[in-house]
């Protein structure tokens, strides 16, 4: 398990983002807006009317999918989710990517160590995500059995932390 903690900590150091004091004063939404690869996420947050919530005090841990993760969703389905009449469904999907509290990479590694390579996370929508050591990294397993790799950790914001994931995770 020490190797697991070391691997996750190394991942955080190698792939982590160096932040200036100005960046640390930005909230989660400000950070997301500043990253081109989160443009679809930002569009979805606006469509679901969640910008205000994620600008709140927090702290929050956000598992943020990059644009290529959203691109794996059928275009017709994604466009339908962005329509006003599907705001509630979209909000449920997006809040499935958020955990209350600030879980840094070291916290996740400790939970994985304690849980023999597995840790269950309760999301803001009440669903469960399972963090697991798998193959070449740490992954999230969603309620449907799909996997998303955590590709970058510990992007710190004033009201929490963002961990970048490669795919959108979906609740039941």
Mean pLDDT on 135-162? 95
* Alpha-carbon 76 to chain mean position: 23
The pTM for the full model equals 0.86
Nearest to 163 by CA among 55, 47, 31: 31
Q: Decide if pLDDT at 17 tops 80.
A: no
Q: Decide if pLDDT at 21 tops 80.
A: no
Q: What value, to the nearest 5°, has the Cα angle with vertex 115 and ends 124 and 60?
A: 25
Residue 131 bridge partners (DSSP): 119, 140
Nearest to 29 by CA among 14, 39, 19, 17: 39
Cα 62 to Cα 89: distance, rounded to the nearest angstrom: 18
The reported pLDDT for the residue numbered 25 is: 78
Place 24 in a pLDDT band, splitting at 50, 70 and 90. Answer: low
Cα 171 to Cα 161: distance, rounded to the nearest angstrom: 21
Q: What is the pLDDT of residues 106-137, one digit of tens each?
A: 999 999 999 999 999 999 999 999 999 988 89
Place 95 in a pLDDT band, splitting at 50, 70 and 90. Answer: very high
User: What percent of the chain lies above the pLDDT cut of 90?
Assistant: 83
Considering only 15-19, 75-79, 105-109, 119-123, which range has the smallest mean pLDDT?
A: 15-19
The reported pLDDT for the residue numbered 45 is: 98
């Amino acid at each position: 398990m020490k190797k697991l903690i070391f691997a996750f900590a190394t991942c955080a150091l190698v792939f982590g983002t160096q932040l200036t004091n100005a960046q640390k004063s930005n909230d989660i939404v400000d950070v997301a807006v500043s990253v081109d690869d989160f443009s679809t996420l930002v569009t979805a947050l606006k469509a679901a009317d969640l910008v205000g919530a994620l600008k709140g005090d927090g702290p929050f841990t956000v598992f943020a999918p990059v644009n290529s993760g959203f691109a794996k969703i059928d275009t017709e389905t994604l466009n339908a989710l962005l329509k006003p009449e599907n705001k509630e469904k979209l909000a449920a999907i997006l809040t499935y990517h958020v955990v209350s509290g600030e879980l840094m990479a070291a916290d996740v590694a400790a939970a994985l160590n304690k849980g023999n390579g597995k840790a269950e996370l309760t999301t803001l929508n009440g669903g469960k995500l399972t963090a697991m050591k798998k193959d070449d990294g740490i992954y999230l397993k969603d309620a449907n059995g799909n996997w998303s790799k955590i590709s970058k950790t510990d992007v710190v914001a004033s009201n929490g932390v963002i961990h970048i994931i490669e795919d959108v995770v979906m609740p039941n």
